[in-house]
Amino acid sequence: MPEQARTTPSLKFLLASPAHFLALGCGSGLAPKAPGTFGTLFAWGSFLLFHPYFSDFALLAVFTAAYLLGIWVIDVTGRAIGDPDHGSIVWDEIVPFWLILLLTPATFFWQLTAFALFRYFDITKPQPARYFDQHVKNGFGVMADDLVAAGYTLLSLALLKIVFA
């Protein structure tokens, strides 16, 4: 079976290419149900592990590079799967959620709220996220719709902070 005909990525597919490994969120995208949620949970856990070792400025630079790299790895992996935005592709959840966590107060409550809001906006796709999701079928579009969801999340968190501060 040629790679383009795959519909359900496997562990073998994950390990076949560094692009697939990243696009599938180091394996978190292989979750049989709610892979986007598992990708976001992976982002949260990994952020808590590496955040203490880097400055915020260094992380912002790394996240920018990870976002740009994501456009390519998602495009490559989407073509290999035969679906540019297959559910198992979760790098688009991971990088924007890292950015959200970088800009969110470092308490469990705020991070949990950020998680819930990001999942809500990622699933409902308010404009212009819906435009990218429906009309830009490549790595750029896949990454862009989640970046928009991250923007809505950060705006909501800022409003919550004003109300509850």
Distance of CA 31 to the CA centre of its chain: 15
As for how many domains the chain has, the answer is 1
pTM above 0.85, yes or no: yes
Flag whether 14 is in a domain.
Answer: no
Query: Which of the 8 DSSP states describes residue 88?
Result: T
Please confirm whether the linkage preceding 128 is cis (ω < 30° from 0).
Answer: yes
| Host domain of residue 77 | 55-165
Flag whether 119 is in a domain.
Answer: yes
Flag whether 96 is in a domain.
Answer: yes
Radius of gyration for the alpha carbons in the chain, expressed in angstroms and rounded: 16
Give pLDDT tens digits along the chain (165 positions): 344 445 689 999 999 999 999 999 999 999 999 999 999 999 999 999 999 999 999 999 999 999 999 999 999 999 999 999 999 999 999 999 999 999 999 999 999 999 999 999 999 999 998 999 899 999 999 999 999 999 999 999 999 999 987
Cα(6)–Cα(8) distance, integer angstroms: 6
Flag whether 129 is in a domain.
Answer: yes
Flag whether 158 is in a domain.
Answer: yes
Flag whether 104 is in a domain.
Answer: yes
Flag whether 40 is in a domain.
Answer: no
Flag whether 61 is in a domain.
Answer: yes
